[in-house]
């Protein structure tokens, strides 16, 4: 399922048919696509930031990242039954962080130094484990949950859901904060050292396990926020909620250059736009997913490191 | 007070059937510059990997300043006071020279600052970060690298990269510094400089140096004592001059 199938804003078309009116209609249509693209892209970017963070530092693909979003969404659902949205969001973030760190300690830490393929397969296993556990606990029927209704506003005759703007704003703030965190703090410096050479960093006294735990905690808290965004847009929780957005966001991270924080943002927004534009054109709308993954393949062929990824130097 | 800063007892490791090191007993006095030599594949770097916790020994143990630290994790061993450089340089290539050294200073209590102070840019962040940078600059100055401090490590010429590795290791404030072929790839003039520098840091930082080196002139000039390894076992040890003239040692090097 595409997130964009649930449109957040729609054109309120007038009755007139003059040339000027048509032009205005096209203008509104464009604004609609842009806003929808930004909103869908913002969610993908938020998930992709988590992927790229973990990949950039720990050099592993955490395919369970999408399912942590699902865990976060269920956490919001459960807490919302007894409390208010603010408490639910905070609880969701805490649950996701604990879950992410637990997964890292139990599943990935014992594989430190093992082949990347073993870690990858384990991550896929963890992903299915989470989905199945959720199904056992909550059943397979989707749960309905309205976190908060931000309402809508009118801009130039286009009705825009306020949460799309919230999504975008939060994503940009998170991107900037993450970049600053990695570039400007001491623990960020240690993270870069670990990402460059785990062994050398450890021999310089950096506690690599702690750094990776912090990385997972950050990545998982981003997943919790992404879960919240998802619920704002599509207010149902199911156990496979995180699967498709997870893969799409992974695609976005790779397109942008995995390991690069602005790259994740760029890839996410690009994918969001592609999805919304494709959904608008009737002929190609059914092939939206295929188009998105084709873009991934083309980018991988033309520029294997993605738009903003670092060129890998061959070691001699 | 212990007589020896480093003492290994029957240290050994085997990889499957290959005994990469066995029954290695090395005793290094405080403030000594001690050599570890031997032909290629003799197990010198293996000993370094054992001493820094990269490998866990299959037999024996070792003591740093009387404390048994064998079996600790790599970062704990570093905190206890052993730092090293690498035979194949392993700098953080995409970081600047000064930031490489600052990674070494990461755990220094003198520049303490929590994650939150750092992220929220509280005054202590700037203070400790500035002090750290100053300290890093001081360390770089010793190696004539302070002019290069804002260059990326990967852009430095080879000899300077080797020096930067030593500066980064020094930043972790070690008691024992392990240098893995520090003079490799240096010209005779650079080697002479390095000899002086190693002596200087030994005195300035009150530390002990254990070094692996193939340049015998360099070893003879610096080390008062050494251990010669061959096929993972100790072939000769003791006074440098005597050991280097040992017919067994000469045979191991030249072959035959």
Please answer whether residues A201 and A194 qualify as being in contact, where contact means their C-beta atoms are separated by less than 8 angstroms.
Answer: yes
Are the beta carbons of A32 and A10 closer than 8 angstroms? yes
**Contacting residues of B for A310, CB less than 8 Å apart:** 94
Identify the domain containing residue A36 by its residue range: 3-302
Nearest by Cα to A131 from A242, A221, A2: A242
Q: B92 and A197 in contact by Cβ < 8 A? A: yes
Query: Which tokens in the block code for residue A24?
Result: 């205005």
> Residue B208's beta-bridge partner residues?
B176
Burial level of B176, CB count in 10 A (0-12/13-18/19+)?
A: buried
Interchain contact B102–A (C-beta under 8 A): yes
Rounded to the nearest 5°, which phi and psi values hold at B33? -110, 110
Asked whether residue A309 is domain-assigned, the answer is: no
Contact A202 B168 (CB under 8 A): no
Q: Scanning every residue of chain B, which has its alpha carbon at the shortest distance from the alpha carbon of A113?
A: B54
Q: Which residues of B touch A197 (CB under 8 A)?
A: 90, 92
CATH number at residue A48: 1.10.3470
CA distance A271 to A289: 10
Q: CB contact, 8 Å: B122 with chain A?
A: no
Residue A313 lies in a domain: no
Q: How many separate domains does chain A show?
A: 1
**Sole residue written with tokens 């980018």:** A299
List per-residue pLDDT tens for chain A, 316 residues long.
Answer: 455 555 555 555 555 567 888 888 888 888 888 888 988 999 999 999 999 999 999 889 999 999 999 999 999 999 999 989 999 999 999 999 999 999 999 999 999 888 989 999 999 999 999 999 999 999 989 999 888 888 888 877 788 888 888 998 999 999 999 999 998 889 999 999 999 999 999 999 999 999 999 999 999 999 999 999 999 988 999 999 999 999 999 999 999 998 899 999 999 999 999 999 998 888 888 999 999 999 999 999 998 888 888 765 554 4
Nearest by CB to residue A186, choosing from B83, B93, B106, is B106
The kind and range of the H/E element at A120 are helix A116-138
Instruction: Give me the residues paired with residue B238 across strands.
Output: B226
For residue A209, give the chain B residue with the closest CA: B75
Determine the pLDDT at residue A31. Answer: 86
- Does A310 fall in a domain? no
- Which residues on A lie below 8 Å from B106 (Cβ)? 186, 189-190, 204-206
Buried b (16+ CB within 10 A) or exposed e, B13-40: beeeeebbbbebebbbebebbbbbbbbe
Interface of A with B in 274-303 (CB under 8 A): none
State the nearest Cα–Cα gap between A254 and chain B, in angstroms.
Answer: 21
Residue pairs spanning A and B at CB distance below 8 A: 78
From B55, which residue of chain A is nearest by alpha-carbon distance?
A: A199
Interface test with A, best of B52, B55, B75 (most A CBs within 10 A): B75
Chain B CB contacts of A180 below 8 Å: 119
CA dihedral sign of residues A54, A299, A5, A131: negative
Contact A203 B83 (CB under 8 A): yes
B86 touches chain A (CB under 8 A): yes
In a domain? residue A176: yes
Please name the member of B84, B103, B119 whose beta carbon is closest to the beta carbon of A206: B103
Q: Is B54 on the interface with A (CB under 8 A)?
A: yes
Cβ-contact A109, A216 below 8 angstroms: no
Q: Which chain A residues are closer than 8 Å to B174 by Cβ?
A: none
Domain assignment present for residue A218? The answer is yes
Choosing among A203, A208, A214, which should be mutated to test the B contact, i.e. which has the most B CBs within 10 A? Answer: A203
Q: Which residues contact B244 (CB under 8 A, 6 or more apart)?
A: B216, B219, B220
CA distance A55 to chain B (A): 17
Tokens 């002596």 found at: B199
Question: What is the pLDDT at residue A316?
Answer: 44
Looking at the whole model, is its pTM more than 0.80?
yes
Asked, for residue A307, whether it belongs to a domain, the answer is no
Q: Which domains does chain B have, with CATH numbers?
A: 1-81+174-256 (3.40.50.300), 92-167 (no CATH)
Whether residue A316 is contained in a domain is answered as no
Crossing angle of the two packed helices B97-104 and A186-196, in degrees rounded to 10: 100
Local mean pLDDT, 10-residue blocks, chain B (256 residues): 85 90 94 93 93 94 94 94 94 94 92 82 88 94 93 91 94 95 89 93 94 92 93 91 87 75
Residues of chain A with C-beta less than 8 angstroms from the C-beta of B129? 186
Tell me the angle at which helices B97-104 and B158-171 cross, rounded to the nearest 10 degrees.
30
- A312 close to B (CB below 8 A): no
Domain assignment present for A308: no
């Amino acid at each position: 399922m595409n997130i964009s199938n649930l449109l957040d804003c729609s054109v309120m078309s007038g009755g007139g048919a003059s040339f000027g009116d048509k032009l205005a209609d096209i203008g509104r249509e464009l604004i609609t696509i842009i806003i929808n693209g930004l909103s869908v892209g913002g969610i993908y970017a938020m998930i992709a930031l988590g992927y790229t963070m973990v990949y950039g530092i720990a050099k592993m693909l955490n395919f369970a990242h999408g399912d942590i979003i699902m865990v976060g969404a269920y956490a919001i659902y459960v807490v919302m039954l007894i409390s208010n949205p603010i408490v639910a969001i905070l609880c969701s973030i805490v649950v996701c962080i604990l879950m992410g760190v637990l997964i890292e300690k139990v599943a990935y830490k014992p594989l430190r130094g093992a082949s990347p393929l073993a870690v990858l397969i384990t991550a896929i296993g963890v992903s299915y484990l989470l989905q199945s556990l959720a199904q056992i606990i909550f059943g397979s029927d989707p749960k309905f949950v309205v976190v908060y209704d931000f309402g809508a506003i009118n801009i130039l005759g286009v009705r825009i859901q306020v949460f799309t703007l919230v999504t975008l704003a939060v994503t940009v703030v998170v991107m900037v904060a993450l970049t600053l965190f990695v570039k400007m703090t001491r623990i960020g410096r240690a993270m870069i050292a670990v990402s460059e050479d785990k062994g050398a960093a450890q021999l310089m006294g950096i506690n690599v396990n702690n750094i990776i735990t912090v990385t997972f905690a950050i990545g998982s808290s981003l997943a919790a926020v992404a879960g919240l965004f998802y619920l704002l847009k599509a207010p149902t929780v199911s156990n496979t909620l995180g699967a498709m957005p997870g893969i799409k966001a992974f695609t976005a991270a790779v397109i942008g250059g995995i390991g690069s924080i602005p790259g994740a943002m760029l890839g996410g927004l690009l994918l969001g736009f592609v999805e919304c534009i494709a959904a608008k054109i009737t002929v190609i709308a059914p092939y939206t997913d295929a188009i998105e993954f084709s873009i991934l393949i083309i980018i991988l062929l033309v520029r294997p490191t993605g738009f903003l990824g670092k060129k890998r130097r061959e070691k001699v | 007070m212990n007589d020896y800063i480093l003492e290994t007892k029957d240290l050994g490791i085997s990889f499957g059937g290959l005994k990469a090191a066995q029954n290695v007993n090395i005793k290094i006095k405080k403030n000594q510059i001690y050599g570890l030599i031997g032909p290629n594949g003799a197990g010198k770097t293996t000993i370094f990997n054992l001493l820094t916790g990269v490998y866990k020994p299959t037999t024996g143990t070792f003591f740093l300043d009387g404390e048994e630290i064998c079996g600790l994790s790599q970062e704990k061993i570093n905190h206890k006071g052993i730092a090293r450089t690498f035979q194949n340089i392993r700098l953080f290539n995409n970081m600047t020279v000064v930031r490489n050294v600052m990674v070494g200073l990461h755990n220094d209590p003198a520049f303490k600052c929590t994650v939150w102070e750092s992220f929220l840019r509280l005054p202590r962040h700037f203070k400790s970060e500035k002090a750290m940078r100053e300290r890093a600059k001081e360390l770089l100055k010793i190696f004539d690298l302070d002019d290069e401090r804002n260059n990326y490590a990967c852009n430095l010429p080879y000899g300077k990269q080797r020096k930067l590795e030593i500066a980064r290791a020094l930043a972790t404030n070690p008691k024992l510094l392990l240098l893995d072929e520090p003079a490799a790839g240096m010209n005779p003039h650079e080697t002479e400089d390095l000899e002086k520098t190693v002596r200087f840091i030994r005195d300035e930082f009150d530390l002990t140096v254990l070094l692996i080196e193939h340049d015998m002139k360099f070893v003879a000039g610096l080390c008062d004592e050494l251990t010669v390894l061959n096929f993972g076992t100790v072939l000769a040890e003791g006074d440098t001059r005597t050991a280097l003239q040992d017919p067994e040692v000469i045979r191991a090097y030249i072959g035959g």
